[in-house]
Chains A and B, each alone.
Chain A
Amino acid sequence: MKTIAIEEHFITPMYREKVSANEFRNFYLTSRSKQIGHDIVEQNADIGADRLRYMDAAGVDVQVLSFGSPGPQAFGADIAVPMARDANDRAYDTVRAHPTRFAAFAALPTADPNESAKELDRCVAKLGFKGAMIHGHTQGSFLDEKKYWVIFEAAQALDVPIYLHPTLPHPDAVKAYFQGYEDIARAGWGFAVDTSCHFLRIVFAGVFDAYPKLKFILGHLGEGLPFAMHRLNDHTWPAAARRGLKKTPLQYLKDNLLVTTSGNWFEPAFLCTLLALGADNILFAIDWPYEPNTAGIEFLKNISISDTDREKIAHKNAERILRMETP
C-alpha cells in the first residue's frame, strides 16, 4: 500500500537561528525525543539522506514537506519574507532531487499578506507545490482579518488547500489559561484549542461564503471539531445567520474542511471522524519528526477499516485533492 504523509515538517538554519527557545519548549523537545527514539531537532533539520532512511524504515513512500511551526508566523515581514522564501527554495531543492519521494506545501510570510499571495502563486505555479501551510496566528493576529483574504483568493484561484497547523495559543490566551501550566499549552492540548478556535473564526468571518471552493486542512483528526460539530452548530446557527452567513456552521465544516490523521493514534477518535466526515475527507499524515514514522504506519495498517477506505486515506485522497501524479 502506497503511503503519502502530508504533515511532515522540516526546519532551516534560519529557523534555528531565529525561533527562540524557552524552558518549556526545551523540556518538551528533549523529553519527547527520548520518548520517541530520535532527536527531533536533528531530524527536523535533515531533508536528505537521514529523512529518507527513516521513511524507508517505516514504509513512508512520499512526504509532503512543510516548514516547522511557528515558522514565519512568529515574525514581522522583515524576517518572515526571507525566511519563507528560503524554506520554500530548500523544500523545492529536495523535491527536485527526489521527485518520487517528496512534494511540498508553501510557507507563507503572513505578516505581509500580499507578499504571501505572491509567494503562494510562485510556489504552486512555478515550483509545483501542493498548497500552503500556515502555523496559526501571525504574532497574535488571526486569519479572519480581511487583510489576509488575498491569500484565500490566491489559494482558491490556484485550487490548492491551506493547511492550518497549530502554534502556541495567542499570548493573552496563554497568560489567561496556561500561566503556571505552560506544558499543556503545547501539542498535548493548547495546540488543538488554538487551531480549532482559529478555524471557527475563519468560518464565522464568512471566508467560505467569499471563497466557497477553498479547502482547509486540519491535522490531528480535526483538532476536536468532528467530536464537537453537532453541539457547535446547534448552539450557533442562529448567531451565524445573524452575522449574515449563507450556510449553517455545520455546512461549512462539511463542505470546506479536510482532516489528517497526524499524531492522533486513537481509534475512538478516528471512528468519530470517519462517521462525522467520511473516509473521502481524511488524509494520512504523521507529523514527523514530532511523531515516529512507525507509529503512523502501524496505525494506518492496523486500524479497523476496509481496505478500500485504507487506500483512500493512505494515498488516494491525497492524489485526488493535492493532484499528485499517480505512477
Chain B
Amino acid sequence: MEGKIALEEHFAIPETINPAHDARYASWFPAWPDIKRRLLDLEQMRLPEMDKHGIELVILGLHNPAVQGIPDAKQAADVARKANDTVADFVAKHAGRFAGFASLPMQDPDLAILELTRCIKDLGFKGTMVNGFSQIGDPTNVVYLDDARYEPFWAKLEELDYPLYLHPRDPLLSREPILEGHPWLWGSAWAFGVETATHALRLMASGLFDRHPKLNVILGHLGEGLPFMIWRVDHRIKETPRSIPAKRRMAEYLGDNFYLTVSGNFRTPSFVDAMMEVGSDRIMFSVDYPFEKTVEACTWFDELHISDRDKRKIGRENAISLFKLAKTKTASR
C-alpha cells in the first residue's frame, strides 16, 4: 500500500543515549551499533526506506526512556526542549514527510504543560509520546500518569485535542523481582508489554476518561496484550470491584479512548483479535523503526488479508483524522 503513515518511529539525540543504556543495549542487541546509528540519523537513512516501502509520513518520537528517565526536572526539560527543537527543524525541511511527537518533562507537570503547548501551538506537533512512568527527583521514585499531579496536564491535552502515545519502558528491577536473573524477559520481548498494559489499565481505572472523555491514548504493539485480556479483566472486576473509581467497563475505554498501532507485532492472529475487540477505526499502521525492520512491517501489512477499506483506514486514514492532517500536503493525494 502506498501512502502509509507510521507513528511509532524513534530517534535519538546524543543527550538521550546515556552510557548505562548504551552498555545495556549493546549487551542485548547484536545489531545495536546499527540501531544506534539509525536512531541518531534523521537526514540520511529514513527517507529512502520510507520511499521504498510506501510510507508517506512518519511521526517521530524519542526512544525510551529518554526524558522519562532523567530524574532532575530541569535537566529533563532541557533535553526535551532540545529534542523537540531538533525535530521541529527537521520537519520544517520535509513538510508532508515527517511530523513530530513532543517529548515532555513529566517530572514537572507545569513544565510539561508549557512544553506541550509550545510544541503543538508553535511547532505544529501532533501530540506527545511519553515513555511510561517518570523517575522524579530520586531515580527510585517512580510516578505513573494516573497520579493526581497530572490532572491539569490531561486537561490541557484534552483541550489541545491531540493524543498521547503511551510508549513502553522497562520497570525498575527493584520493583520487579520476577525479572531478576532472566534478562531475556526485559524490554520489548516481554516486560514492555506487561508494564505498559498495566499502566494503561491504571489510567482507565482511575476515572481519567470519565473526567476527560475526549482524551485519546495510543498504545503500540497491537495494544500490549490488552485486546486479548480485556474481557477477562472486566469479567473479574465485575465479581470483585475493589473500589475502582472508573464508571465504565475497561473495554469501553479501550474502545472509546485508545488507538492501537501494529508496531512490532506483525502477527495476523493477534491482529484479528485486535480487529474484533476495537475495530478497524482505531487501529493504525506503525513500524517501530529502527528497532523493527521497515520491510518486515510493510510486507506483512501490505499482504494482510483485510478489506481495502479497512486497509486504507489502518494504513492511513485513521491517522489523517486523529492527527488532523487533512490540512497538510499529506491529505491532498
Contact = CB atoms under 8 A, between A and B. Distances in A.
The reply to whether chain A is a binding partner of chain B is: yes
B252 A307 contact: yes
Contacts of B309: 254, 278, 280-281
Given A271-B276, A274-B276, A275-B272, A308 B282 contact: yes
Contacts of A274: 275-276
Nearest to B281: A308
A62 B306 CA distance: 30
B307 A306 contact: no
Given A307-B252, A307-B255, A308-B255, A276 B307 contact: yes
Contacts of B278: 306, 308
B44 to A, nearest CB: 38
A275 B282 contact: no
Contact of A254 (B252, B279, B281, B308): B308
A97 interface: no
Contacts of A304: 276-277
A307 B250 CA distance: 13
Contacts of A305: 276-277, 279
A305 B281 CA distance: 12
Interface string A30-74: 000000000000000000000000000000000000000000000
Nearest to B231: A304
A202 interface: no
Given A275-B307, A278-B310, A309 B272 contact: no
Contacts, number: 49
A200 interface: no
B211 to A, nearest CB: 21
B277 to A, nearest CB: 6
B282 A278 contact: no
Interface string B301-317: 00001111110000000
B277 A306 contact: yes
B280 interface: yes
Name the prevailing secondary structure of the A interface residues: helix
A278 B280 contact: yes
A125 B279 CA distance: 36
A281 B272 CA distance: 17
A309 B282 CA distance: 11
Interface string A305-317: 1111100000000
Contacts of A306: 255, 276-279, 282
Nearest to B308: A254
Contacts of A308: 255, 278-279, 281-282
B307 A309 contact: no
Contact of A275 (B255, B281, B305): B305
A324 interface: no
Interface string B229-270: 000000000000000000000001001000000000000000
A278 B307 contact: yes
Nearest to A309: B279
Interface string A292-306: 000000000000111
A274 to B, nearest CB: 7
Contact of B306 (A230, A278, A307, A309): A278
A63 B280 CA distance: 27
19 contacts: A230-B305, A254-B307, A254-B308, A274-B275, A274-B276, A275-B275, A277-B307, A278-B280, A278-B307, A304-B277, A305-B276, A305-B277, A305-B279, A306-B278, A306-B279, A307-B252, A308-B255, A308-B279, A309-B279
Q: Which 3 A-B pairs have the closest CB atoms?
A: A278-B307, A306-B279, A309-B279
